[in-house]
Structure formats: C-alpha cells, structure tokens
Chains A and B, each alone.
Chain A
C-alpha cells in the first residue's frame, strides 16, 4: 500500500507537467480548431532557455523561467503570424505548417545547444520530506505548486478578464464574435502565446526530472497529445485529468516496462479513443461548419 501511494506521488508530479503540456495544446485547439504539432518542440525550447539563463547566466530560477516564457510566447506569436493566411483556407495545411515549425525549432536547438543533452540540477535543494510513511521531495512539491498556480491563472484569465472572455467567445462562435468586435486574429495570436508560455513552464519544470535534449519533444509531446485527447480535446479540466492519468500510468509501469512508456501511452490512448472518441469531458472546439 505504501508502495502504491509512494509511486502515485511520483506519478502526480510528472502528470502535472503533462497536464501543463496538454493545456497548452488545448488552449490553441479550442480557439482555432488547430492541433499545434510544434508545441512539443516549444516545450523543449522553453526547457533550454530556462537552463541557459539559470545555469549559464546564473539568474534565479524564477527569472530564468520568466525569460523562457517571454521567448516562447514571442515564438508562438510569430508562428501564428506566419501561418495566419492559411487559417481560413485550409486547416490541414496549417497543421502541416506547424510540423514544419517543429522541425525548424529542433534544428535551431541543435545549432545553438548541440545535439547532446544536458543534465539539469533542481532549482531548489531536493530534500526528502517524510509525511506519514511516505517520502515527498521538495522539488515534487514545487512542481505541483507551480502547475497549480499556472492553472489557476489560466482559469482566472479565461473566466474573469475581458480578453479571456473574448477568447472564449471566439471559441464558441467566431462569426458572432467578429460581429461583436472581437479581433479573431489577435485572439488566435494570444492563444498561441499563452499555449507557448505554458509550454515553457512545462519544459522548465521537467528539465531536472529528465534530461534536456533537442529530441525530448517527441516523447513529451505524444504524452501531452494523449492527455489532451483522453480528457476531451479543447477541455481544460480534461487536459488536467488526462495529464495526471498518463503521469500515473508512467509511474506504475516500472521495472522492465519502463523503457516502453511511449508504447504503453500509445496503446492506452488508442484503446481509450476506440471506446470514447470525444474523451472524458467531451470535445470543445470552434464550430467550422
């Protein structure tokens, strides 16, 4: 029993990172109906920029993270701007365009930081805390806390601010939103910026757990996708639940299975899709009919 709880704690902290990745996918998907295939590589860029400022420039972790959010946010805006002409023409082409951006980002990362990865120390001393019979590390608590704060900010933004409400309006009915004076292009750019900023947070947090390398996007990306779809693509609560589920699955597939985490993710996700295609919370997207 202790083992189960202990494993679950590890799973939840990884799951929180996947949830952040999934929310980043979802915020763009619910606003424009587009799957951003470059998202996973933005996570990787976020991780690298954080590491560069934190280890290279020796800035405090919080400031390094902020810098990474600004860099990826700008990247998100740039991607949206370049692909904007396709938005009303052909969403499939736009999707392929995001794959192109992903390829570019990976090669740029190799050119700047080299093709081998870096191990990253935790930003705070990683002390084990004993709670009952269980061990929780301070870094796990930090991940959960940061993820919770970011999620709360996202909900606050979407529900309580004028900009956020305008974005929700675009997601519900883009023509009506345009008629009410909402700038759809600006709203899409904002969705890209927010999604990419969240990717940077996910990348910064996951760095010390994994290994920061130009190819890290594929595995994290597919888990983020799977999480977003399992929860119901476009649904923010769905992304959180989906992320935690895949974090737990990964934690419990230990021993000889641990090398196969990508394969297991795919099998679970394919099975879930064949049972309920719209995910746990149902799909949320803009109606393009």
Chain B
C-alpha cells in the first residue's frame, strides 16, 4: 500500500459548489451557470497562453464557433442536439488548428495579430451573414433532451455544467502537472532548448491551440443549448478582452487562477450591471498592473503568501493500492546506449554555413571516435558555437554532411537530433527558468513520442504511473549531481555554477550517445572546474562521447584527448593537445604573427 496525501481544498470546494444552488434565486443561478461556462473557456485560454506561451486572441471566437455551429445545425438543419454537439466541438477544434497553423512558422507576436484578425473577422461574419441570423442572432435553440431531467431549468443546467467542468478541470490539472503540460511550459520558457531536449515545437504549438479550441468548443455548445440564444455580441472582442483579463489577473499558468479570475469577472459583470464601462476600465487597468507588478497573477500572489506563512494545510492520508507487491514501482530499466554501428561517433564532412554575407563555417571537417573527449578551441568568433548548432540541428548547414555513428543526419531538426542521441548545453545557459530543477531534468528524460499523449484521453491513470517512475529516475540523476535538495527550486533561483550543473544533468537525462558541451567551465571557480572535469570523465566512462568547446586552456589540455582548432570558420589544426599547442598556425591565430615568430626563434 502506498499512501497519498490529499488536501481538503478540492473536495471542500466541490461540496460547496454542490450545495450552492440551494442559496441561489433564479437569476443568480443563471449567473452561476454563466460563470461555470466561462471558467471552462478561461481554462482553455490558460492552457494555450499560460502554459503554451502562444498569444491567442481568438478564444472568444472559438467559443462562438462552438455555440453557433451547434445552434445552426439544430435550428436550420433540425439535428438532434446530442448529434450536433460533438460535430460543433470538432468544428471548433478545426478552427483552432487553422488559427494555429501560422504558429508553425511565425513568432508569438504575429500570432497575436493573426488571432486578433480572426476574432475581428468572425465577429464581422456573425454580424452580417444570413445563416448566422445577422446582428439579431439565433433564438429558439432547442435544449439538450435528457430523459427525466428538464434542461431548460437553470438549477438542472447548473449541475450539468458542473459535471462537465469537474471532468475538464481534472483533465486540465492532469495535463498541467504531467508530461504534456511540462513540455508546453518548456516550449514557452525556451524554444531552442526545448527543441534540443527532443520536443517537436510546431506540433506542440498546434496542440496548445487544439486544447484551447476543445475547451472553448465544449463551453460554446453548452452555452447554445442552455441559454438557447446566441448573438454576435457574446463572442466579440469585448468578451475576448474579458477572457484575457480573467487569465492574466487569475494567473496565466495556473488552472485554479484562471478559474478564480473567470468567476470574479463574470460575477462582477452580472451583479454590477449598469456599470459596464467602469468595469471595463477596472479590468483593463488590472491587466496593466498585473503584468507590471505581479506577472503570475493572483495564483502567484497566493503561492508567495503561502510560502511566507507556511500555513500547515491539513491533509488526509489516503491509501493507494499499488499493483502486485508492496515494493515501490521499480524505475524503468536503463535503456542501453545505442550500440555504435561504427567506431566513429561523429563525423563532420566539409560543413559550411553562411549568415547573409558572413561566412561562419567553411569546409569544416572533423572526426570523433566513440568514447573520446574531444575539444574544440579557437578565438572568439571562429565558428565554434555555429558548428555545435549545425551538429545539434539548431542551424542547417549550407553545405557538407554530418554523420552520427555512420548515419547521415545532415539537416535534421533539433528535436530529431535529440532523439537520435545528441544532447547539448548552451554557452549562455538556456534552462527552462520558470520550471523547477526537477522539471528541467524531467523534460529531457521524457522520451515519449508525441502520440503517447493520447493516453490523456484513453487511459489517464497510466499517465500518473509513468510520471511517478520518471520522477524517481530524475531524482536519481539529480542525486548524482548532488542537486536533490534543490530539486523543487525554480531553476533560475540557483547560483550560476549550480545552474551549469543542472544544464549538464538535463543534457544527460536524455541518455545521449554524444554530448556537446559549449563552454561548460565559463564562470566556474577553480574547485567547480575540478568537479566539472571529474563529471565529464565519469560521463565518458559511462560510454558517452563528449565534444567540448572551451576557452580555459588548462582545462582543455588536461581533459581532452584530441583537439580541433578553428579560426575564421576553418579548421587550422587538429591533433593531441601537445601537437596543437606547438602548432605555429595556432599560436598565430591566438597571439598574432609576432608571437609566432618569437616562438619559432626560441632555441
């Protein structure tokens, strides 16, 4: 038996929501239904924007798509509402994917404009087209038929929406706390590092939009059949800005935050009727104040207060049956490193790369045998990091080939290279700064293909089991770096040297066969440098080939077995550290012609 501790918050809240209608009159019950519907839409927006980092100003238009699709199918075509509902949700998801398509190629601010454009276009269409009923909208939408329950009654509606909401909140919380949510947040924090950790960025951007569309579509369908009247005003820009305010004020990357924000603003809108303009002024000002002073919204403030007060939340121990034995679930057996098909781990053949007029790499070739620690040195601007970018798939080479264990991998993308066993660190630390140390490592440790996310719909409980095993493995890896006591700290709060360690741990988490370290010793003190050397040697002992860019000559000379020297994008020398150190071209590149002559003149 394992024991899980469950806080009283969620069950108490649910209990309160179940008895709430007893205290509500007909009008406030109707408001309560609207609140629950907007909570669903707002959670969808929080998943796209807060978790996925994709600016989405079309969420109200998605909401409207679901509502109008179901309204038109049932009124104009006489469909049964239960048949129209799934079709309308599907239509909304499709719409979300269409808006998300530009996200495959463009940056987030473009996405803001594209999605705002769609929102204005949809409002334009709804107000003018014949089939949407124009400005007067569609009325007399049939209620959802339900044997024995009258769904034109606001009290019954309340319980229907509450049931749907509970399911969707559970789904959103599951996503937020596990692999899918973590990948979305990693993408939000640092796209390049996320791709280098094996995350297929375009796919996850679309997935973020799909989630937003799904939540908005479900809420839209419910809105159409419970309110039974749709008009363009409900889904226009005003609603969009209200939704944005809910999510920003509540806290972008918190499911509870979005829910609280939605509840507050919809309650205010309906209970302070007649003061709409002042409300608009207030929430506009609150958006500005929140982004400037409390970027993580109410949820962030609550978390900070709870940390400061250290309020002992009572919690109940709940026994959880674990399958079979009482032994804790064994971690996954370590997958063996891909057996090298050739003795050469990495072969770079005449690779070139130009940026506009600048030649960063020109005909660079090098070869690294399996199990070697290979150094790449050269003056600043000699193309070292560009070479890493080409090898790890961040940049595509202009010419030449890259082979990994004999296999041609030229031009593969960063996430593909990661999955082929190439891991890297970055010259200017690229941690997922809002994730904890543990989560940083778990992102890279998680090698599930994207299609594995179907589990969320088919078998959600297996997500948790896999998550637990992944967590144990990540903690094990952190222990090797003596980082376990900071596992739950935000990565950005660690001192610089430790952040470097986290980045190396993250790179190793993906079980690479080739590790690229870009200036790992930069900013480390002498003791930390010694530790780094020991770590790199241990990594090599485990069978990983290591290529390291480093300026610290003492470290390079004592750590690397062979070196490649770059200058002006060309290889000017290669060999053992001793050979390279005596090479006239290397001395010239580093110290200039005079130094070379002086060196040569020495007896």
Q: Interface on A for B, CB 8 Å cutoff?
A: 33-35, 37, 82-83, 85-86, 90-97, 99-108, 110-111, 115, 218-219, 222, 225-226, 229, 233, 259-263, 265-267, 269-270, 273-274, 277
A86 & B292 in contact (Cβ 8 Å cutoff): yes
A262 & B121 in contact (Cβ 8 Å cutoff): yes
Cβ of B101: which chain A residues have Cβ within 8 Å of it?
274
A131 CB → nearest B CB, Å = 34
List the A residue with the shortest CB-CB distance to B289: A100
Given A103-B284, A104-B281, A229-B110, check contact A93 B295 (CB 8 Å). Answer: yes
18 contacts between A and B (CB under 8 A): A93-B295, A96-B291, A99-B241, A101-B284, A103-B245, A103-B280, A105-B284, A110-B277, A115-B277, A218-B120, A219-B120, A222-B113, A229-B110, A229-B113, A263-B124, A270-B102, A273-B114, A277-B106
CB within 8 Å of A: which B281-296 residues: 281, 283-288, 291-292, 295
Given A83-B292, A273-B106, check contact A107 B125 (CB 8 Å). Answer: no
Given A35-B109, A106-B280, A225-B117, check contact A85 B292 (CB 8 Å). Answer: yes
CB within 8 Å of A: which B193-212 residues: none
Tell me the interface secondary structure of chain B in the complex. helix
* Interface magnitude class on chain B: 35 or more
Cβ of A82: which chain B residues have Cβ within 8 Å of it?
288, 292
A267 & B288 in contact (Cβ 8 Å cutoff): no
Q: Interface on B for A, CB 8 Å cutoff?
A: 53, 55, 57, 101-102, 105-106, 108-110, 112-114, 116-118, 120-121, 123-125, 128, 237, 241, 244-245, 248, 277-278, 280-281, 283-288, 291-292, 295
User: In whole angstroms, what is the CA distance A37 to B240 when docked?
Assistant: 14
A225 CB → nearest B CB, Å = 5
B118 & A100 in contact (Cβ 8 Å cutoff): no
Beyond A100-B284, A103-B284, A108-B281, 12 additional pairs, beta carbon < 8 A: A92-B55, A97-B288, A99-B244, A103-B245, A104-B284, A107-B278, A226-B117, A266-B120, A266-B121, A270-B102, A270-B118, A274-B101
User: In whole angstroms, what is the CA distance A221 to B461 when docked?
Assistant: 47
B285 & A100 in contact (Cβ 8 Å cutoff): yes
Cβ of B287: which chain A residues have Cβ within 8 Å of it?
96-97, 99-100, 103
A237 CB → nearest B CB, Å = 20
List the B residue with the shortest CB-CB distance to A266: B121
Cβ of B124: which chain A residues have Cβ within 8 Å of it?
259-263
Cβ of B244: which chain A residues have Cβ within 8 Å of it?
96, 99
B277 & A263 in contact (Cβ 8 Å cutoff): no
B248 & A96 in contact (Cβ 8 Å cutoff): yes
Cβ of B116: which chain A residues have Cβ within 8 Å of it?
37, 222, 225
A97 & B117 in contact (Cβ 8 Å cutoff): no
List the A residue with the shortest CB-CB distance to B121: A266
B288 & A260 in contact (Cβ 8 Å cutoff): no
List the A residue with the shortest CB-CB distance to B101: A274
List the B residue with the shortest CB-CB distance to A25: B113
A90 & B295 in contact (Cβ 8 Å cutoff): yes
User: In whole angstroms, what is the CA distance A144 to B598 when docked?
Assistant: 71
A230 CB → nearest B CB, Å = 11
List the A residue with the shortest CB-CB distance to B295: A93
A274 & B102 in contact (Cβ 8 Å cutoff): yes
List the B residue with the shortest CB-CB distance to A225: B113
User: In whole angstroms, what is the CA distance A86 to B285 when docked?
Assistant: 16
B533 CB → nearest A CB, Å = 31
* Cβ contact of A107, chosen from B114, B121, B280, cutoff 8 A: B280
User: In whole angstroms, what is the CA distance A33 to B109 when docked?
Assistant: 9
A74 CB → nearest B CB, Å = 17
